[in-house]
Amino acid sequence: MIRHLFKLIWNKKKTHSLLIIEIWASFLVLFGLATLITYNVRNYIEPLGFEYENVWAINLGNNQDTVAISEKVQTIFQRVKGFQEVESISRMSGVYPFSQSNNGRTVKYKNSDVQMSFVAADENLSKTINIPLIAGKWYRNADSVGKYIPVVINRKAETALFENQSAIGKVLKDYDGKAVWVVAGVIDYYKDKAEFMLNKPVMFELLKADQIYDKSLVIRVKPGTDAVFEAKLVKAIAGIAKGWSTEIVYLTDARQKQHNMTLIPVLIFLIICSFLLINVALGLFGILNLSIARRRGEIGLRRAMGATEGSITAQFLGEVWVLATFSLVLGLLFAIQFPLMNVFDIAGGVYITAILIAVVIIFLIVTLCAWYPSRQASRIHPAIALHED
């Protein structure tokens, strides 16, 4: 039966070529869309790793003031901490959670070297945004006296650097091969560019209180704290440091911004693709309708020879499936290159899932489009159909 169907299609390959191209192209579009969605969904279901509700980030800028910067930052820190609305406060570099900025470092251990996101933060960060540790502990400010700078890395970084060994207590080297850091603790996840971000290696370094660059404050406020307190906070900071700029960002807002940057392109792509596919589906329906109408004689003959309604429907559905399979094989030749050549550095599983999704959807569309015309064909009465010729 299947061999017969293949023969039927092969004999008419010229007339079917356009149909094959159409299905092939739809498959490629679907493959692109499915890849994009699978990639993002996979990232989304991995945990974020910290809490952001009721957390604010305060960005300080010293502008033209160059006198006693670190002292002023520390005074501001103590003043903000003193407010009873503030539950917890931490000082960190400008790459606070959901910020638009990035900082990267190359970290080496023996033969492995890993590119990591780099965050400088003080001892309170894990408490302020609640990052649970899975091994070791978060460094203390007092640890700064040691020979190496204490750091906390995430599990991804631990695996990349040490494979199966524990990272605690190991000394890490910088790009030039100088021993700089010692690992104090390991956390699980820290996706600081929000849920849709790929889980990447990250390293937290103990922030030096006397330096002047890293002056973002992250505070957890009591639930229900509003802009009245915010204004009070800005005023208090301005009172300590004249001429400084203060920008307060709610992490919930910053997270929304990060989400939009991912979701809007996906949404636009999704809308365009669905319209394209509706278009293709309608076209397919029309073409199948036409071609079946033209084969009434053949159907009549088969019915007269004893074929049941079901077998007629099955024949036409089968033909369309064979056609779709032809196109999908062509499409797969293209699509399979992506996981094979590791394009865009995306995990191979994403492409495979995307290919499967695309194949299933193509078969669904094709079946839906062929169902009605096939049913119509099977209802043709042999006497009427044969009478026409």
Contact residues for other proteins (CB under 8 A)? 18-19, 21-22, 25-26, 28-29, 61, 63-64, 226-228, 230-231, 234-235, 238, 243-249, 253, 272, 275-276, 278-280, 282-283, 285-287, 290-291, 294
CB of residue 32 vs other proteins: minimum separation in angstroms?
Answer: 9
Q: Which is nearer to other proteins, 110 or 242 (CB)?
A: 242
Cα 203 to the center of its chain, rounded Å: 21
> For the purposes of burial, counting CB atoms within 10 Å of the CB of 387, is it exposed (0-12), middle (13-18) or buried (19 or more)?
exposed
CB of residue 51 vs other proteins: minimum separation in angstroms?
Answer: 22
CB of residue 340 vs other proteins: minimum separation in angstroms?
Answer: 18
Q: Which is nearer to other proteins, 86 or 151 (CB)?
A: 86
CB of residue 22 vs other proteins: minimum separation in angstroms?
Answer: 5
Q: Which is nearer to other proteins, 115 or 245 (CB)?
A: 245
CB of residue 247 vs other proteins: minimum separation in angstroms?
Answer: 5
CA 211 to each of CA 73, 93, 206, 208: distance values in angstroms, whole numbers, following the listed order = 10, 11, 12, 6
Cβ–Cβ < 8 Å for 199, 39: no
CB of residue 152 vs other proteins: minimum separation in angstroms?
Answer: 27
Q: Which is nearer to other proteins, 40 or 291 (CB)?
A: 291
Q: How far apart are CA 47 and CA 250, in angstroms?
A: 20
Q: Which is nearer to other proteins, 280 or 359 (CB)?
A: 280
Q: Which is nearer to other proteins, 22 or 195 (CB)?
A: 22
Tokens 């631990």 belong to which residue? 158
CA 99 to each of CA 69, 246, 252: distance values in angstroms, whole numbers, following the listed order = 23, 15, 11
Cβ–Cβ < 8 Å for 338, 270: no
Which residues make Cβ contacts (< 8 Å) with residue 373, sequence separation at least 6? 285, 288, 289, 292, 316
CB of residue 229 vs other proteins: minimum separation in angstroms?
Answer: 9
Q: Which is nearer to other proteins, 184 or 280 (CB)?
A: 280
CB of residue 17 vs other proteins: minimum separation in angstroms?
Answer: 10
Cβ–Cβ < 8 Å for 40, 258: no
Q: How far apart are the first and last CA of the chain?
A: 27
Q: How far apart are CA 162 and CA 158, in angstroms?
A: 6
Q: Which is nearer to other proteins, 240 or 332 (CB)?
A: 240
Q: Which is nearer to other proteins, 146 or 243 (CB)?
A: 243
CB of residue 18 vs other proteins: minimum separation in angstroms?
Answer: 5
With b meaning 16 or more CB within 10 Å and e meaning fewer, what string describes 215-243?
Answer: bbbbbbbeeebeeebbeebbeebeeebee
Q: How far apart are CA 164 and CA 161, in angstroms?
A: 9
CB of residue 21 vs other proteins: minimum separation in angstroms?
Answer: 6
Cβ–Cβ < 8 Å for 184, 152: yes
Cβ–Cβ < 8 Å for 116, 127: no
Cβ–Cβ < 8 Å for 8, 327: no
